[in-house]
Structures are given as structure tokens and as C-alpha cells.
């Protein structure tokens, strides 16, 4: 995970429609901080993609788009 990732908070879990049987939807809040200055959204987007990639690789997680 990026060094700028300061905290991950679990916000909730949901099972039911439209989530397929055997799967669940979780909500996470990610907090990033750079001691050197302000983070631009382009940089944070890359950090988020890195975290999603790690979750996909290690937990077979996938980002829900709808």
C-alpha cells in the first residue's frame, strides 16, 4: 500500500440484492496524507487503484461499479 495511506476504516457490510449469492459488499473509507504537501486527486486516484489491486490480489475482491 502507498506510504501515504494513513488509515482504513470499515464502514459497513451488505448482503442481498443486487449482490450475487455467496458474495458481500463492504464499504471502506481510505485516508491519505502527505507530510510534504497537498495531495492532488490524480495522485489519490492512483493510490486508490493500488489499494484495490492489492485487495483483488490478496482477497479476490472486486470493485463494484453499480
Question: Does any domain span residue 65?
Answer: no
Question: Does any domain span residue 64?
Answer: no
Question: Does any domain span residue 66?
Answer: no
Question: Does any domain span residue 16?
Answer: yes
Query: How many structural domains is the chain composed of?
Result: 1
pLDDT mean over 5-32: 94
Condensed to tens digits (0 to 9), the pLDDT of residues 23-44 reads 999 999 999 999 999 999 999 9
Between CA 2 and CA 50 the distance in angstroms is 8
Question: Does any domain span residue 24?
Answer: yes
Q: What Cα–Cα distance (Å) separates residue 53 from each residue in 12, 35, 56?
A: 20, 24, 5
| Cα pseudo-dihedral 43, 45, 47, 50, rounded to 10 | -140
Contact 34, 4 (CB under 8 A): yes
Question: Does any domain span residue 27?
Answer: yes
Domain interval for residue 9: 5-59
pTM of the model: 0.77
Amino acid at each position: 500500500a502507498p506510504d501515504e495511506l494513513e488509515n482504513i476504516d470499515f464502514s459497513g457490510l451488505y448482503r442481498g440484492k443486487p449482490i450475487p449469492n455467496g458474495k458481500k459488499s463492504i464499504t471502506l473509507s481510505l485516508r491519505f496524507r502527505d507530510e510534504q504537501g497537498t495531495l492532488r486527486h490524480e495522485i489519490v486516484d492512483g493510490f486508490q487503484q493500488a489499494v484495490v489491486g492489492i485487495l483483488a490480489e490478496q482477497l479476490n475482491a472486486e470493485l463494484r461499479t453499480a
